Amino acid sequence: APASRPRPARPESPADADPRAAELCEGLLRRSARIDPKFLYDAQGCVLFSAICELDEYYPTRTEREIFRSQREAIAQALPDPLQWVDLGCGDCAKSRDWLSHVGARRYLGVDIAAEWVTGAVASLGAQHPGIECVAVGADFTAGFDIRDRLGDVQALPPVLFYPGSSIGNFAPDVAVPMLAGFRRHLGPHGRLLISADLRKDTAVMKRAYADALGVTAAFNRNVLRVCNRLTGSDFRPENFLHQARFDEARSCIEMRLVAGSRQFVRIGGQLRVFEEGEAIVTEHSYKYTPERFGALLDEAGFSSHRMWTDPHGWFGVFLAQP
Ligand code: AVJ
C-alpha cells in the first residue's frame, strides 16, 4: 500500500480561521453554489435593506405597518397584561417602540445577534420608558435559541415574543417548524408569539417586490459578493453578476440568485471556482404562505391555537399564537 504522504500544501486562506468564511467557501464551492442570506446584512447590506423597505414595489413593510396601525388595539387586547416584550431581531427597536405605550409591558428584552450593536438602541428606549426594565440580549435565535434563563418567572410575567417583518420567510418550512417550537418553549402557559408572515398573492406583485425598477434589491444582492471578498479573500467582481428573482411555485418561495453574465474565474478559499455564463448562486429564499399553510406550520410547532389579522388585499398576515 502506498505510504501516506503529507497533503500538498494549500495556500493559507481566511477560511482556516473564521467559521463564517469557512461556511461561505463551503457553499460557494458546491456544484450548486449558495450563500446563506444572513451574509446579506453587513453594514452596507443593512442600509440597502432599509432602502428596499421604502420602495413602492416592496409591499411587506408598509402593509405590516398599516396592519399594526389599524389593528393595534385589537391585537393589544388579546395580549396578557402585564407582560414582558421580547423583541426578536430588535435592530434599532423601532417596530417595538409603537407597541410599548399600548401594552402592559414591565420588561423589554431586545434580542439580536449583534448585542453590542443594539445596546445603545435598547438604552435609549429605556430612557424614554423609565417604567420598563430594558435589557439587551445577544443571541442567535436561529440556532438552538434558548434565553429562558433571561425571562425569570414566566407564570408571573408572561412573555410576548415579537417576530415581525416576515423574517420567518427566510427559513424553509422544515427549519421554521423547529424554530417556532423553540419560541414556544419560552412562553409558559400564558405567553404569546406575535409573528408576521408574507402571504401568497399574484406572482407579478411578489416578483416586482424583489426586482424593483431602481435596482436597489439588485445592489443589495450583489453586495453579498463584497461580503464574500472581505470575509474569504475571494475576488468576485460583483458587476459581472446579474440579479435575478423568480417565484418557485412548487416551494412557494421567491428565490434570489446572482447569475454570471459571462464565464467567471474566481479564487475562493485557495481554489479556483469557475462560474459558467448563466450559472447561478442562490442567495435567498423568501417563503410565501396561505393563511391556512402558515396556521398549519404553527400547529406543527405545537401551538394550540392562533388568530390572524390582515390587510384589505390579504397580502400580509399578522399571527398571534398561543402555546
Ligand atoms: C427580511 C427576509 C423579510 O424576504 O422580503 C427583501 C429580505 N430580500 N428583499 C424578505 C429581502 C430582498 C426580506 N426579509
**Using one digit for the tens of pLDDT, what is the confidence trace for 108-147?**
999 988 777 789 999 999 999 999 999 999 888 777 899 9
| Rounded Cα gap, residues 85 and 108, in angstroms | 5
Q: How far apart are CA 231 and CA 200, in angstroms?
A: 35
pLDDT number for residue 16: 64
Ramachandran class of 229: left when φ > 0, alpha when ψ lies in -120 to 50, beta otherwise:
alpha
Helix (H, G, I), strand (E, B) or coil at 153: coil
Residues 25 and 269: beta-carbon distance below 8 Å: yes
Give the H/E segment covering residue 179.
Answer: helix 173-184
pLDDT along the chain (323 residues), means of 10: 54 70 97 95 92 97 98 98 96 93 96 83 94 92 88 97 97 96 97 98 98 98 98 98 98 98 96 98 98 98 98 98 98
Give the mutation target among 39, 40, 170 for probing the ligand 1 site: most ligand atoms within 8 A of CB: 170
By three-state DSSP, how is residue 100 classified? helix
Q: Which of 113, 286, 318 to mutate to test the pocket of ligand 1 (most atoms within 8 A of CB)?
A: 286
Q: Which atom of ligand 1 is nearest to the CA of 165?
A: 3
Ligand 1 touching residue 61 (CB < 6 A) = no
Q: Is the CB of 169 under 6 A from ligand 1?
A: yes
Taking alpha carbons only, the member of 215, 257, 226 closest to residue 39 is 226
Q: How far is CA 104 from CA 15, 69, 85, 213, in A?
A: 47, 18, 9, 43
pLDDT of residue 265: 98
Residue in the block written with cell 420588561 = 107
| Nearest atom, ligand 1, residue 254 CA | 4
- Give the single-character DSSP code of 149: G
State which amino acid sits at residue 236. F
How many CB atoms are closer than 10 A to CB 252?
16
Instruction: Give the list of residues 6+ apart from residue 54 with CB closer than 8 angstroms, or none.
Output: 61
Which grid cell sits at 43? Answer: 453594514
Separation CA 314–CA 205 (nearest Å): 13
Q: Are strands 83-88 and 159-163 parallel, antiparallel or unpaired?
A: parallel
**Ligand 1 center to residue 190 CA distance, Å?**
31
Q: How far is the CA of 252 from the centre of ligand 1 (A)?
A: 15
- H/E run at residue 306: strand 305-310
The verdict on the CB of residue 166 being under 6 Å from ligand 1 is: yes
Is 217 near ligand 1, meaning CB less than 6 Å away?
yes
Pocket residue to mutate for ligand 1, from 35, 54, 284, 285, most atoms within 8 A of Cβ: 284
ipTM higher than the 0.95 cut: yes
Q: Nearest Cα to 21, choosing from 3, 40, 39, 5? A: 39
Nearest-atom number in ligand 1 for the CA of 286 is: 4
State the Cα torsion 119-122-128-131 to the nearest 10°.
-110
The Cα 276–Cα 263 span in angstroms is 4
Report yes or no: 242 and 258 within 8 Å, Cβ to Cβ: yes
Q: Distance, CA 299 to ligand 1 centroid (Å)?
A: 24
Q: How far is CA 9 from CA 5, 6, 12, 232, 268, in A?
A: 11, 8, 9, 18, 16
Of 170, 172, 111, 190, nearest in space to 146 by CA: 111
Pocket test for ligand 1, best of 46, 49, 201 (most atoms within 8 A of CB): 49
* Full-model pTM: 0.93
Chain-centre distance for alpha carbon 250: 22
Whether 52 is in the pocket of ligand 1, judged by its Cβ within 6 Å, is: yes
Contact call for residues 264 and 280 (beta carbons, < 8 A): no
For residue 228, CA distances in Å to 46, 93, 238, 262, 263 come to: 16, 28, 10, 19, 19
Report pLDDT for 139. Answer: 87
